[in-house]
Structure 1
């Protein structure tokens, strides 16, 4: 019989999605799941997670937005301008698309 290990609530505080965004497939799957939720704040935070996974300093350089501004703009409670989000998405090497 398999034994199951119970996860304690305090163990969840150690979870960081960034640790699981290793490949482009991981990133695409994560962002797709977030987009399905439809919450714009969660989408912005997910872009922040991806930026942290790829290296915030590098993304700041590529996007032309300061590192500190990125951290502030890509938090779940932030409401960044679309221009900022678009710059970060481009710096991440991603594209937004709409399909009918």
Structure 2
């Protein structure tokens, strides 16, 4: 288990939260004008990144508010959380990887 910082409630146990997939996916402006293939791409296809991934989370057993998190999908390290109205933070995972390298 790990801790997640809710932007409204502070640090809590991960069991209070639910992840709902990739963040920052814009809904099509005119979905009725999309082909079935285009609509299927929007609904089903995501980047599924190995490494830093921006995700949508909800504090299910707390304030019930939505927020975004920058999480490493390999290590589960959360670089930060932020409100949906805020811009995504710039993440430099190379610094974390190289921090232990003494060569």
TM-score by length of 1: 0.21
Normalized per residue, the structure richer in helix is 1
TM-score by length of 2: 0.20
Higher Cα radius of gyration? 2
Normalized per residue, the structure richer in strand is 2
